[in-house]
Amino acid sequence: MSYMNEAWFVLLASAVTNSSREQIAQKLGVSRTAISLVMSGKYPANTQKISVKVLALLDGWHCPYLGADISAKDCNTVHASPTPSHDPAQLAHRRVCRNCPNKPKQGE
């Protein structure tokens, strides 16, 4: 299936590998059968609802500066933005970002 190359599916496959289909299904609020069908490429319906749930649950991490979970997109925005020399709080965030284990690799 074409969705098997999309970012949300890669996140789902990784989560299932590190956990179980049952546990991930419970976290997503869907059936284990739905996850099994998606993983095997045999899901009969549109995967849009599942992809939204996967991205909301799995596409992010804990930000050490904010002390909260943030999306990968928000993290990448902070990391890629120009150095905010005009705002001490943003500058402090950027300093923590430079040494964060979640920061994007060069070229991402």
Looking at this protein, which amino acid is placed at residue 40? S
Question: pTM of the predicted model, to two decimals?
Answer: 0.68
Distance CA 75, CA 79 (A): 6
Q: What is the DSSP letter of 62?
A: E
Q: Which tens digit of pLDDT belongs to each residue from 30-50?
A: 999 999 999 999 999 999 999
Is the pLDDT at 100 greater than 80? The verdict is: yes
Across the chain, mean pLDDT equals 89
CA 27 to chain centroid: 14
